Chain A
Amino acid sequence: MIELQNVTKRYPGNREALTHLNLTIEQGEMAFLTGPSGAGKSTLLKLIAAIERPTRGQVFINRKNITRIPKRKVPALRRHMGVVFQDHHLLHDRNVFDNVSLPLQIAGFAQVDINRRVRAALDKVALLDKEQMMPITLSGGEQQRVGIARAVVHKPAILLADEPTGNLDPELSAEIMRLFNDFNQVGVTVLIASHDLDLIERMNKRIIRLRAGECIDSQSPLDAQNFEIHN
């Protein structure tokens, strides 16, 4: 589903964010991306969402090479993905319903389908009763759930999340992770960048560890069960 072949990303100023990285995430897989700040987690997600282009190497999404995808084809690519941010990036001049419906508006769905899908997505994140509220009136955890509803409302094949629990307490974080797990259960490929090691180890999923732009370890769930933290 997601494949990176020998990818190097160098930012202006010669800072190398990723170095000769090889990585494959299968369809329907759920994986965590971890490592210290500056390890290249965000850069990796940006390459997948075509926000950044690799300096060298190739990126494939669903067997399509997106390494040099033309600008005008980027919107179509992103409509197959859902992206969740740490600070949820909701639009504050419109209510919850309108925020969640945005991907469907953009893709040109009929209003009846939009209504149905938005309610389904809000139901999934348990916010059905808040659809008319403005985002600013919601708690941090609720805002993050609105962000997740928006990321999944168009049933994307790939769900990317960059530190989705970064601002939440442990209990809310676990709840958010369970949501991601639910989406993975219905076949969505999920890739989550997080440095909350305790939490992601409990999820019993594949963990990809980056350090200084290199993949130093990639563990399947079975290994993770017996994994002990080495400092």
Chain B
Amino acid sequence: MEATELRAQIEDLTAAYVECLDSDQLEEWPDFFTERCLYKVIPYENAALGLPIPLMYGDSRGMLRDRVVAHRNANFFAPHLYRHLVGRVRIVGEENGVISTRANYAVFRTMLDPSDYGRSELFSVGVYHDQIVFEDGKPRFREKIVVVDTSQIPTLLVTPL
């Protein structure tokens, strides 16, 4: 694949990924990942100390689906919107068809509950460390490690980053 074509596909993947989360299409979110995958959200504090405890962890598409089902049916939380801003995606390596990328992100959260309706705040800022593979010509995340600089989570984290 041409470098420009590869870059265009990866940028489209990133844009589609955050649009999925920001437009509350959570049911489609697991399909951005390969069947066996690693989605891990980890506080900067632990990443810096080399400690393993994550905030969210899924090592299969099924486990990500379970997160979504819980989000829709089980968990209670203040309704809110996300708006992701992702910086330029840098391709840091390519080996055996696995493309490694890195990008900064910021997520603004807007509350929709009666107490704070319409209040926006910077909710989370950090870095995506991704591994992307192509399956049937379609790029998917084999691995997405979200290192969250905002180790102090405002209230709770229920919607994926």
Chains A and B come from one and the same complex = no
Residues of A within 8 A of B (CB): none
